[in-house]
Amino acid sequence: MRHCAIILAALVFVACSTSAVVSKPTEEEARAYSAAAVTLSDFSMEIVAHYQSTHTSVPEDFDAGKFFAVLEDIYRDKARIRSIKDNYHVSVRPLDGGYSVMLCDPRTERKIMEDFSCTLTKVDVMSWESDVPVPCVFENDWKKYCEH
């Protein structure tokens, strides 16, 4: 009897802990992620144009705080900035004069997407489309996404 209780408890724990991570996003979540991807592309266009207009590169200490500070100064639609800040765990890193921004689900720590600011018309990695849960870590082999 005791073994059955332990096995049952283990099964319940595994089912509860993996169901949110492994399941595909709902239709509503997919729409929200698509909208966030469009927003990130728009952010990239604005930030890249900003640094090009000042004849500078993205600073080596570029992070989420600096990313949002630049957007607050140059981007008109403050509601879109707030939406990204409020709905995602946002991480930013500098990359060879540019940057990447990664959005993760704050509840599951599953990576939703990552944009490398090298293809301004689309987000480069849309992890939310995958059946396999992707951990919330930056891509190591990011250069392959920037080769045209």
pLDDT band at 11 (very low <50, low <70, confident <90, very high): very low
pTM exceeds cut of 0.75: yes
The pLDDT score that the predictor gives to residue 148 is 63
Quote the number of domains for the chain: 1
Q: How many CB atoms lie within 10 A of CB 43?
A: 24
Does residue 112 sit within a domain?
yes
**Residue 117 to residues 11, 85, 98, Cα–Cα distance (Å):** 43, 18, 7
18 within a domain of the structure (yes/no): no
Contact call for residues 17 and 133 (beta carbons, < 8 A): no
Structure tokens given for 50? 């900003």
What is the model's pLDDT at position 145? 85
pLDDT digits (tens, 9 = 90+) for 107-139: 999 999 999 988 878 899 999 998 888 999 999
The set of residues, in sequence order, having a beta carbon less than 8 Å from that of 47 and lying 6+ positions away, is: 58, 67, 70, 71, 74, 99, 117
Range of the domain at 72: 24-146
Residues 20-68 pLDDT 10s: 444 677 899 999 999 999 999 999 999 999 999 999 999 999 999 999 9
Token pair in block for residue 122? 């689309």
User: Distance between CA atoms of 63 and 68, rounded to whole angstroms?
Assistant: 9
Residue 15 has pLDDT above 50, yes or no: no
Torsion over CA: 128, 88, 41, 29 (sign): positive
- The answer to whether the beta carbons of residues 25 and 128 sit under 8 Å apart is yes
CA-CA-CA-CA dihedral for 45, 114, 81, 110, to nearest 10? 170
Task: Look at residue 4 and tell me if it is in a domain.
Answer: no
The token duo for 77 is 């639609």
**Residue 131 resides in a domain:** yes
96 has a pLDDT exceeding 90: no
Question: Taking 60 as the threshold, does the pLDDT of residue 86 lie above it?
Answer: yes
